[in-house]
Amino acid sequence: MSVPAEVVEKARKLREEIEFHNVRYYRLDDPLITDAEYDRLMAELLAIEARYPELVTPDSPTQRVGAPPVEAFTEVRHEVPMLSLENAFSEEDLTAFDRRVRKELSRDTLEYVAEPKLDGLAVNLLYQDGVLVQAATRGDGEVGEDVTHNVRAVRAIPLRLKGEDFPDRFEARGEVFMPKRGFLALNERARRSGEKTFVNPRNAAAGSLRQLDARVTASRPLSFYAYGIGAFPDARLPATQHELLESLQRWGLPVSPEYRVVRGAAGCLEYYRSLGERRHDLPYDIDGVVYKVDDLKAQAELGFVSRAPRWAIAHKFPAEEARTRVVGIDVQVGRTGVLTPVARLEPVFVGGVTVTNATLHNADEIRRKDVRPGDTVIVRRAGDVIPEIVRVVPELRKPGAEPFRMPEVCPECGSAVEAEPGEVLARCSGGLYCPAQHKESIKHFASRRAMDIEGLGDKLVDQLVGRKLIATVADLYRLDLDRLAGLDRMGEKSAANLLAALERSKRTTLARFLYALGIRDVGEVTAKVLSEHFGSLEALMEATEEELLAVADVGPVVSRHIRLFFAQPHNREVISQLLACGVSWEKPAPAPRKLPLQGLVFVLTGTLASMSRDEARARLEALGAKCTGSVSRNTSFVVAGSEPGSKLDKASELGVPVLDEKGFLDLLERGRP
Ligand code: IVH
């Protein structure tokens, strides 16, 4: 049975359309149609191909969903060996490379293509008459594995090229990689379903591409950039590397938008520095820069030594991961009593600095990573991020290494350690009795964004508390030259400076003062909101739970912490001493604009005919109201659509007013209750 011409035409059109949307979605990050519409196009094409299997072509987008599993990969001998790159680890290495190349070519100056060194795996793509017919991994450079089915599942790689001016048969080479965002999402999914996670995007990319079941590859967020060629007809070669990249791009192969043509070693180094600064903002991992002599004739002249071309070099960024040993695990006690385990490390140079500590966050994290004292670990320090332990190297664990256990009493004061239900954090219950919490709370009080007492650093606080010169933050304002004189590294001048700074800090704002008190869960933003809402310290100190809950941002937990704090006679005493010492502020300006429903709490139940629940919530919130999920005494109104649930019963039980849909719409219209 021959295939009707209109079906052939329909299949062709569908393929074209789907590929167009693939590019919008996977390459440009700018889809024009919804996922459902895309799926519909795909389903239509699949149906045609199921009916007329002879219409299935290797470049059909249906081939991307992944072929059924194979037993093993077959080997592919590369027509042109896939080389590796020499490395430069310093600016000197790079200038030496440039000097060598210029000498060899007898040139004064050379242009290079500079581009990111992607952290993925190299593939060779064979295109015949514009159709992808074979894809292979690098393998040992001579022989790789046939991963055609898998590569077809990578949406960024075109199954059919665009335009007409490509050679009948040629190979493009480039890197398959996994963007950071996709990597994090993939690992998050794996964690949730209890599967093994990947160590880094590179491993994830390699593991995803080398799958016997290409359907698995299809489900992984892989991407691709082309950076060169393999077999390619000489007669069709342009004069330069950058023109080659332009051609590949014109034919529909994605090329890194970061590549540049630069001049001389100075141009290379400038590119290296500027890319290094943006490294962490790129959506994918890179581990350096690759420079390639731009002139292709010069490339041919230079040739290669053993396995690496003499016309290219990889300039590596400092490693961000390194191996070291955990000497011990300390437990630090923070201002609010939270116990944080910290790994003490054998010093190691990583990410450009020497690292001796890495936070382990909490007991859950240690359990998950199973870090034990004595373990060999991989430490990571990326950019300005605090160093952390990525994983343990289990093969190097010494026999008898004991799992870490969170202490049951505070290592600083011996008070019991509590883990609140539903919280992963362990806390010392000692409060200000605990010297660690005590010192940390004074440091916090003095910090820049709180009372801003210049010159009152950590070391000084440790001394002041250690020598019992201060017991509370109010005592800071009773310090004098006599008492400061005996401290280490405290000359007369710095003592006078400190006293002046203390004096200056007395003039503050209510928001800063509230933040400085260190009430649990009252950060800078909440402190500001509270100060604007209540206008005075007295009003806040006497606020009832209802009044606190009416503040945007304040939920039951925060409200409880605020009330607990002000209920403590000790805290009230310190506050009155601070005020007596002269700490003061001007009355805060009220919140810029009070929204009409501010302070009101709504609960939505049942179905509204005129809008979705999300929309109703958004409209209420736009007017300043809060929406919560359950009815309580704090609920101002329940809005009941058709078929309301038990929330309506609860409302009548508690005497909460109920609005029907009309009443609700009227309220939105009026903008006030
Ligand atoms: S060119 C003849 N360019 O690095 C030159 N390689 O260390 C061969 N790589 O196997 C490769 N980004 O997997 C080149 N922009 C780039 C690259 C790059 C990453 C990888 C590639 C190669 C390895 C060599």
Assign residue 353 the CATH number of its domain: 2.40.50.140
**For residue 498, which phi and psi values (nearest 5 degrees)?**
-65, -45
Task: Check pocket membership of 115 for ligand 1, CB cut-off 6 A.
Answer: yes
Examine residue 401 and state whether it is found in any structural domain, yes or no.
no
- All residue ranges of the chain with pLDDT < 50 are none
Q: What is 6-19 written as a DSSP string?
A: HHHHHHHHHHHHHH
pLDDT at 671: 75
pLDDT for the residue 367 = 87
Q: Specify if 208 maps to a domain.
A: yes
Q: How far apart are CA 286 and CA 382, in angstroms?
A: 12
> Does residue 177 line the site of ligand 1, with CB under 6 A?
no
Q: What is the pLDDT of residues 205-245, one digit of tens each?
A: 999 999 989 999 999 999 999 999 999 999 999 999 999 99
Q: What is the CATH number of the domain that holds 648?
A: 3.40.50.10190
Q: Domain ends where: 293, 316, 339?
A: 316
Catalytic residue among 10, 103, 117, 647: 117
**Token representation of residue 357:** 């500590």
Ligand 1 neighbour 117 (Cβ under 6 A): yes
Q: From the CA of 516, how far away is ligand 1's center (Å)? A: 53
User: Taking the chain, what is the end-to-end CA distance rounded to the nearest angstrom?
Assistant: 73
Selection from 58, 80, 207, 20 nearest residue 134 by Cα: 58
Residues 546 and 610 in one domain: no
Give pLDDT, residue 32: 82
Residue 65 near residue 215, CB atoms below 8 Å: yes
Q: Indicate whether 635 belongs to any domain.
A: yes
User: 636 alpha carbon to ligand 1 midpoint, in Å?
Assistant: 64
Which residue minimizes the CA distance to atom 18 of ligand 1? Answer: 117
Distance 122 CA to ligand 1 centre (A): 7
- Residue 251 resides in a domain: yes
Q: What's the 23 CA to ligand 1 centre distance in angstroms?
A: 24
528 included as an active-site residue: no
Q: What distance in angstroms lies between residue 554's CA and the mean position of ligand 1's atoms?
A: 53
pLDDT per residue as tens digits for the range 618-640: 899 888 888 988 888 889 999 99
Ligand 1: nearest atom to the Cα of 309? 2
CB atoms within 10 A of CB 515: 26
Give which of 551, 594, 450 is closest to 510, Cα–Cα: 450
Residue 174 Cβ contacting ligand 1 at under 6 Å: no
Q: Is there a single domain that holds both residue 204 and residue 138?
A: yes
Q: CATH number, domain at 136?
A: 3.30.470.30
* DSSP single-letter state for residue 62: G
User: Is 405 inside any structural domain?
Assistant: no
Same domain, 392 and 427: no
In this structure, are 611 and 553 located in the same domain?
no
Domain shared by 605 and 458, yes or no: no
The burial of 447, by beta-carbon neighbours within 10 Å (0-12 exposed, 13-18 middle, 19 or more buried), is given as middle
| 578 and 616 housed in the same domain | no
Instruction: CATH number of the domain at 10, please.
Output: 1.10.287.610
Question: Is 75 contained in some domain?
Answer: no
Question: Looking at the 3D structure of the chain, how many domains does it have?
Answer: 5
Binding site, by residue number, is 35-39, 84-85, 115, 138, 175, 292, 316, 410, 413, 434
Binding site residues for Zn(2+), as ranges? Answer: 410, 413, 434
| Whole-angstrom distance, CA of residue 319 vs CA of residue 534 | 52
Is there an atom of ligand 1 within 6 Å of 307 CB?
no
Residues 107 and 178 in one domain: yes
- Ramachandran area for residue 240 (φ above 0: left; ψ -120 to 50: alpha; else beta): beta
> Do 116 and 240 lie in a common domain?
yes
User: Do 309 and 332 sit in the same domain of this protein?
Assistant: no
Neighbours of 324 (CB within 10 A): 21
Which residue range is the domain that position 375 belongs to? Answer: 321-396
Q: Which pLDDT score, from 0 to 100, does residue 385 have?
A: 72
Question: 292 in ligand 1 pocket by Cβ < 6 Å?
Answer: no
Residue type, 312: A
Which pLDDT does position 538 carry in this prediction?
95
CATH classification of the domain holding 559: 1.10.150.20
Q: Alpha carbon of 226 to those of 29, 346, 616: distances in Å?
A: 18, 41, 49
Whether ligand 1 lies within 6 angstroms of the CB of 285 is answered as no
Tell me if 69 is assigned to some domain. Answer: no
Q: Of 316, 347, 363, at which residue does a domain stop?
A: 316
Last residue of a domain, which of 340, 367, 396? 396
What pLDDT does 209 receive? 94
Q: For residue 216, is it within any domain?
A: yes
Same domain, 338 and 311: no
Indicate which residue's Cα is closest to atom 6 of ligand 1: 117
426 and 572, same domain (yes or no): yes
Same domain for 390 and 265, yes or no, is no
The 10 Å CB-count burial string (b at 16+, else e) for 231-252 is ebeeeebeebbbebbebbbebb
Q: Whose CA is nearest to atom 15 of ligand 1?
A: 117
